[in-house]
Amino acid sequence: MRGFYLTRTEMGTILKTIRRQEIPDKILMKAMKRSGSEKEELPTIFAKLSKATEGSFGFSINEIATLGNQLEYASFRSTAVQNWVKRDIKEWIGAPQLGKKYAIEQAAILFIVEDLKNTHDFESIRLLLKFAFNNPADRNDDLIDPLAFYTAYSQLFEAIHTKVKPTKEGIRKKAMELSSIFSDLTEKQKEDIEKLLISAALSVQASFYQSLSKQYLEDVWR
pLDDT tens per residue, range 113-152 = 999 998 999 999 999 999 998 777 777 778 899 999 999 9
Q: How far apart are CA 65 and CA 86, in angstroms?
A: 15
pLDDT at 51: 79
Task: Render pLDDT for 8-17 as a digit per residue (tens, 0 to 9).
Answer: 999 999 999 9
pLDDT at 187: 92
Sign of CA dihedral 152, 72, 136, 46: positive
Average pLDDT score, the chain = 91
Task: Render pLDDT for 66-116 as a digit per residue (tens, 0 to 9).
Answer: 999 999 999 899 999 999 999 999 999 999 999 999 999 999 999 999 999
Task: Render pLDDT for 151-174 as a digit per residue (tens, 0 to 9).
Answer: 999 999 999 998 877 899 999 999
pLDDT at 2: 60
Asked if residue 1 has pLDDT above 70, the reply is no
Best mean pLDDT range from 42-51, 59-68, 156-165, 176-185: 59-68
pLDDT at 39: 83
Using CB atoms within 10 Å of the CB of residue 146, give its burial: 0 to 12 exposed, 13 to 18 middle, 19+ buried.
Answer: buried
Burial 174-211 (b: 16+ CB within 10 A, else e): bbeebbeebeeeeeebbebbbebbbbbbbbbbebeeee
Read off the pLDDT of each residue in 174-195 and give the average, rounded to a whole number: 93
Task: Render pLDDT for 186-201 as a digit per residue (tens, 0 to 9).
Answer: 999 999 999 999 999 9
pLDDT at 134: 78
* Domain assignments of the chain as residue spans, ordered by start: 8-220
Q: How many Å separate Cα 14 from the centre of its chain?
A: 11
Q: How far apart are CA 200 and CA 101, in angstroms?
A: 26
Of 148, 85, 72, the C-alpha closest to 113 is 85
Asked if residue 214 has pLDDT above 50, the reply is yes
Of 8, 160, 139, the C-alpha closest to 70 is 8
User: Residue 44: which residues within 8 A CB-CB, separation 6 or more?
Assistant: none
Q: How many residues belong to the chain? A: 222
- Is pTM beyond 0.85? Reply is yes
